[in-house]
Chain A
């Protein structure tokens, strides 16, 4: 009965959605931001644990805990704070909060001349809640995300529905998919949807467990956005469940524009339930490169 309800909720979140008006690039960037514990937002969708949970709530059926992270992009003067909590009340729930702010938007001499300009901010924020349910090798989630977009005094809000699924194939392979679709929104008319798929393959070596990840994302949430296509590959080496080192490379393009590449290099250390993660995001010529750090508290129950 519960399973049926969750499948229905998953379908409903993708179904008849109300028409709504242009979200900023800043909110679009925030929707695709991930904490340091996640190697690459596109590649690691099926990776499991904190490496995937930000984008695919269904990725780790048994993980509970708390995550706090911060990321800074010097080129854009963008600081992003991300937090997540997973807990069980009946079913497994995942709460997410993310806020991103752009500083130094208005020149100091303009502010000196017109002091009221100092009160104008560029802020994007969202709060998301997802319910997660597992049956056998399949885990599904359904949830809503409430978004807030403030662009120098102009404010808008919207709601996006999200549904994800992860299926384990054999002992070492996992497939995952997630669909986001704008629902009611002051942020612009909803577009079809944004779809992401990912695959993960574990290989046991003498050095530790090596995980190969690959993913793709396509689509947009609202008509005002430019449709994006992104591809990524990643590798994670996990030693004794204590140390993890991950690298990834990806490429993305807006509409029919040129492909631009990005890369990540991350390292995580887990001591018991506590973990610390660091990540460097690399962009061409250093533009848009960012540093991220996150801490996690994890509590795992038997699946």
Chain B
């Protein structure tokens, strides 16, 4: 793995932790990287209809504090914006959850009452190694955002605004460790559907993240809309503390029993996990839309759920 990959992994871990996701499996890079400062720009996007709709409010927001004046690291090295991630918080994501995110990432922000109602933001990535796509995936996996995507259209012209923030990675790590200790492991094996557009590989998460995922839809009708447009391609896995550690396998089959894709096959530590399916089979080919059967086995445990691909 290259230094660049490690860095991206670390940053994803940072985000994941900040958003309520357990990054124990992603902590290794931290030891290889000296503590530093990552800068996010946490301001309204300059593009898109929702921005126009919110512009008035943004102008009137009257954010009180400015903590960052230019893109420089702590030792004064100028930074270059290397990527942008556009996101929009869900209506169901509470102000408290956003505050938790901000607190977790060490972001200093003005009073919550001044936050833009449109909830559309852009994260500015300042390390060339940062992978905007991976970070967007981590945000999406949090279940707190309607979307998070690499934003190629946000442009260069926003400049530095009042709401740019420092993220202290040491503080993050301390937060993560504290967060991990506080959470109990699941008592039994389990699997279930999750309404999320996360389609990435197996990722360890906290109970808080799962709760955000499971109750992520603002209403029953919005859940229907989500299923109609995205299908159901994300599963949650729960692994209890067992000794010896059991090998967990999640296989995907067609309705007629033909193996399609092996989603998970590894010994997992106790905890909660999310795993998504990108609609590809084991050979990397896109499969037909339809209903598929996910079978989780671990020791004597066996459970079946459906995934629906659009």
- Same complex origin of A and B: yes
Binding site for B on A (CB under 8 A): 22-26, 28-29, 73, 75-76, 78, 102, 104-107, 109-110, 113-117, 119-120, 122, 151-154, 224-226, 254-257, 260, 283-289
A289 to B291, CA, bound (A): 17
Instruction: Write the chain A residue with the least CB distance to B225.
Output: A153
Q: How far is the CB of B275 from chain A (nearest CB, A)?
A: 15
Instruction: Write the chain A residue with the least CB distance to B191.
Output: A107
A73 to B291, CA, bound (A): 14
Tell me if A151 and B232 are in contact (CB < 8 A).
no
A-B contact pairs, 24 of them (CB 8 A): A22-B288, A24-B289, A25-B288, A28-B288, A75-B293, A76-B254, A76-B256, A78-B255, A102-B255, A102-B306, A105-B308, A106-B227, A110-B195, A113-B215, A114-B195, A114-B219, A120-B224, A152-B232, A224-B289, A254-B258, A283-B256, A286-B257, A288-B256, A288-B258
| Contact among A23, A119, A257, A285 with B288 in the assembled complex (CB-CB below 8 Å) | A23
Closest 6 CB pairs of A and B: A288-B257, A287-B257, A76-B255, A25-B290, A114-B223, A24-B290
Tell me if A73 and B255 are in contact (CB < 8 A).
yes
Which residues of chain B come closer than 8 Å to A78, judged between CB atoms?
255
Tell me if B287 and A226 are in contact (CB < 8 A).
yes
Tell me if B293 and A106 are in contact (CB < 8 A).
no
- Given known contacts A153-B227, A226-B285, A286-B257, what 20 new A-B pairs fall within 8 Å (CB)? A25-B254, A25-B287, A25-B288, A73-B255, A76-B254, A76-B256, A106-B227, A109-B192, A114-B217, A114-B223, A116-B224, A117-B223, A117-B224, A154-B310, A224-B288, A226-B288, A256-B283, A257-B283, A283-B256, A288-B254
Is B43 part of the binding interface, using a Cβ–Cβ cutoff of 8 Å?
no
Q: How far is the CB of A21 from chain B (nearest CB, A)?
A: 11
Of B228, B254, B288, B310, chain A has the most CB atoms within 10 Å of the CB of: B288
| Contact among A75, A116, A254, A284 with B223 in the assembled complex (CB-CB below 8 Å) | A116
A23 to B228, CA, bound (A): 15
Which residues of chain B come closer than 8 Å to A283, judged between CB atoms?
256-257
Q: How far is the CB of B270 from chain A (nearest CB, A)?
A: 22
Interface residues of B in 210-265 (CB under 8 A from A): 214-215, 217, 219-221, 223-224, 227-228, 231-232, 253-258
Q: Known interface pairs A24-B290, A283-B257, A287-B257. Does A106 touch B193 (Cβ–Cβ under 8 Å)?
A: yes
Tell me if A105 and B306 are in contact (CB < 8 A).
yes
A114 to B293, CA, bound (A): 22
Tell me if B290 and A107 are in contact (CB < 8 A).
no
Which residues of chain A come closer than 8 Å to B219, judged between CB atoms?
114
Q: Known interface pairs A107-B193, A154-B310, A284-B257. Does A76 touch B291 (Cβ–Cβ under 8 Å)?
A: yes
Which residues of chain B come closer than 8 Å to A26, judged between CB atoms?
255, 290-291
Is B305 part of the binding interface, using a Cβ–Cβ cutoff of 8 Å?
yes
A110 to B227, CA, bound (A): 11
Which residues of chain A come closer than 8 Å to B232, judged between CB atoms?
106, 152
